[in-house]
């Protein structure tokens, strides 16, 4: 329905959605992310096109290298990751992850073409739990079959990143970008992080450490909700601030968008506890759709993975089992997408109905 200009009574001109410009702190973060991605791209280029394999790969196989005492590039990567998790919580997600960069790129392109997908708060985040299982299965299987030492060598020697992405620079870019384009269009900003990434479950556990710096209240919050609307991770920032004086949601990746946008400059990223007592202690958390705690999620995923490996080796062929797991995951994601689409359409129709009745 076309709206009318209140002054002239003529149909109002369609307003172009305003482009979100990064604030100062978020800008710094985006630069750090971009520099990191340039380094990773150079690493891949040098591996595939210049043949510089001796530097080693950058991947989670470094955990295995650390376990067997081999200090290669992957081990350095994992060591830095562990230290950042212990000291800063999910800093890696905001400042170092390749998929973080691809999602920023996706958002930027969507903004340029005027497309603003709605951020959907959904129970689909439980999909992360399901994905963890087939993701870890091959790792545990390899450890069991060939032993830890051989596994670390084989994984580290094959290619620079991980075994599940195309082995060219352009192929990898296309692979990641296509994932983030589709998911962002369906579920809104940072959909991959919020709904799919299995590592988020592991990273979230570090968010409970008491010394991890957080976004804190700095001056009195006026409850305008601007921060909540701007948060790319769908965190109820205003709710957390009013309730506890700090952002305690383990989904926070320290992107600093909320700190930048607060109109009263009421937020800061700090180690120190703030001096503002909770303003609305009785307020219920909004947007917390998942009924499970992250610890429960994680324990369940670990148990399921161990059980899966056992089942794979005892009952059927490993590859059959792995294929079936991925089949179930893809089916599950499709099912959730259809449900989301239906819910979204029902909501839109309800809105249109209300608008129609109001205009009568
Ligand atoms: S949640 Fe996963 S994909 Fe998102 S930034 Fe963190 S590690 Fe990367
Ligand atoms: S709460 Fe603030 S810092 Fe954390 S993810 Fe949301 S906008 Fe970024
Ligand atoms: S933007 Fe600032 S003032 Fe507004 S709700 Fe968030 S913290 Fe409070």
Whether 235 lines ligand 2, by a CB cut-off of 6 Å, is yes
| DSSP calls for 159-189 | -SS-TTS-SSHHHHHHHHHHHHHHHHHHH-T
Q: Record the tokens describing residue 154, joined without a space.
A: 């084989």
pTM, two decimal places: 0.72
Best probe residue, ligand 3, of 218, 241, 249 (max atoms within 8 Å of C-beta): 241
In a domain, residue 137? The reply is yes
**Is the Cβ atom of 245 under 6 angstroms away from ligand 3?**
no
- Examine the domain organization and report whether 130 and 179 are in the same domain: yes
Q: Is 197 in the pocket of ligand 1 (CB under 6 A)?
A: yes
pLDDT given for residue 232 in this prediction = 93
Overall domain count for the chain: 2
Give the DSSP H or E segment for 84. helix 73-88
One domain for residues 266 and 120: no
3-17 mean pLDDT: 48
Ligand in nearest proximity to the CA of 227: 3
Q: 314 and 248 in one domain?
A: no
Mind listing the pLDDT tens digit for each residue in 264-315? 999 999 876 666 665 655 555 565 544 445 555 556 666 666 666 666 666 6
Say how far apart CA 338 and CA 333 lie, in whole Å: 9
Q: How far is the CA of 210 from the centre of ligand 1 (A)?
A: 22
Both tokens of 41, joined, read: 């791209």
Distance, CA 22 to ligand 2 centroid (Å)? Answer: 13
Q: Given this model, what pLDDT does residue 89 score?
A: 92
With beta carbons less than 8 A apart as the criterion, state whether 332 and 130 touch. Answer: yes
Tell me: pLDDT of 23 over 60. yes
Mutate to test the pocket of ligand 1, among 58, 85, 100, 101 (most ligand atoms within 8 A of CB): 100
219 with 99, same domain?
no
Helix or strand or coil: residue 116? coil
**Structural domain boundaries enclosing 252:** 212-270
Is residue 6 a part of any domain in this protein?
Answer: no
Residue 7: the pLDDT is 46
User: SS3 for 4?
Assistant: strand
Q: Distance (Å, rounded) from C-alpha 56 to C-alpha 73?
A: 5
Position 354 in a domain: no
Q: SS3 for 246?
A: strand
Give yes or no: residues 105 and 190 share one domain: yes
Domain co-membership, 257 together with 162: no
Confidence of residue 78 (pLDDT cuts 50, 70, 90): confident
Tokens coding 201: 């479950």
pLDDT at 247: 92
Task: Report yes or no on 291 lying in a domain.
Answer: no
Q: Atom 7, ligand 2: which residue's CA is nearest?
A: 231
Q: Which ligand is nearest to the CA of 257?
A: 2
CATH number at residue 247: 3.30.70.20
What's the rounded Cα separation, in Å, for the pair 158 and 90?
29
Q: Above 80 in pLDDT, residue 60?
A: no
The pLDDT of residue 87 is 93
CA of 273 to the centre of ligand 1 (A): 27
User: Does one domain contain both 216 and 196?
Assistant: no
| Average pLDDT of the chain to the nearest whole number | 75
Alpha helices in 166-275 (DSSP H): 169-187, 191, 199-204, 226-230, 237-244, 257-261
Contacts of 286 (CB under 8 A, 6+ apart): 236, 239
Q: Per residue in 129-153, pLDDT tens? A: 777 766 676 666 666 666 655 555 5
pLDDT classification of 121: cutoffs 50, 70, 90: confident
- Nearest ligand to the CA atom of 101: 1
């Amino acid at each position: 329905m076309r709206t009318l200009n209140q002054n002239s009574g003529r149909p109002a001109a369609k307003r172009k959605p305003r482009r979100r410009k990064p604030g100062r702190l978020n800008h710094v973060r985006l630069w750090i992310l971009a520099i990191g991605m340039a380094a990773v791209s150079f690493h891949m280029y040098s591996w595939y096109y210049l043949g510089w394999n001796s530097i080693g790969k950058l991947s989670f196989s470094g955990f295995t290298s650390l376990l067997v005492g081999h200090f290669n590039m992957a081990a350095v990567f994992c060591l830095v990751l562990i230290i950042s998790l212990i000291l800063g919580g999910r800093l890696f997600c905001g400042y170092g992850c390749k998929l973080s960069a691809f999602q920023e790129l996706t958002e930027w392109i969507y903004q340029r073409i005027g497309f603003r997908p709605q951020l959907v708060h959904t129970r689909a985040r439980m999909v992360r739990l399901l994905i963890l299982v087939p993701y870890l299965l091959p790792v545990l299987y390899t450890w069991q079959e060939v032993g830890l030492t051989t596994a670390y060598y084989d994984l580290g020697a094959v290619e620079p990143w991980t075994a599940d992405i195309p082995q060219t620079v352009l192929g990898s870019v296309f692979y990641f970008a296509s994932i983030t384009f589709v998911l962002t269009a369906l579920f809104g900003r940072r959909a991959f992080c919020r709904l799919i990434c299995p590592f988020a479950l592991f990273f979230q556990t570090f968010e409970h450490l008491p010394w991890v710096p957080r976004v804190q209240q700095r001056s009195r919050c006026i409850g305008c909700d601007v921060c909540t609307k701007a948060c790319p991770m769908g965190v109820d920032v205003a709710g957390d601030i009013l309730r506890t004086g700090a952002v305690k949601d383990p989904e926070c990746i320290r992107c600093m968008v909320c700190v930048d946008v607060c109109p009263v400059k009421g937020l800061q990223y700090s180690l120190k506890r703030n001096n503002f007592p909770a303003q609305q202690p009785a307020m219920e958390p909004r947007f917390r759709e998942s009924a499970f705690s992250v610890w429960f999620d994680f324990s369940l995923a670990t148990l399921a993975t161990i059980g899966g490996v056992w089942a794979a080796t005892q009952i059927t062929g490993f590859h059959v089992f792995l294929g079936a797991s991925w089949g179930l995951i893809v089916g599950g994601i499709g099912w959730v997408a259809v449900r989301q689409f239906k819910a979204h359409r029902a909501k839109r129709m309800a809105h249109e109905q209300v608008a129609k009745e109001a205009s009568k």
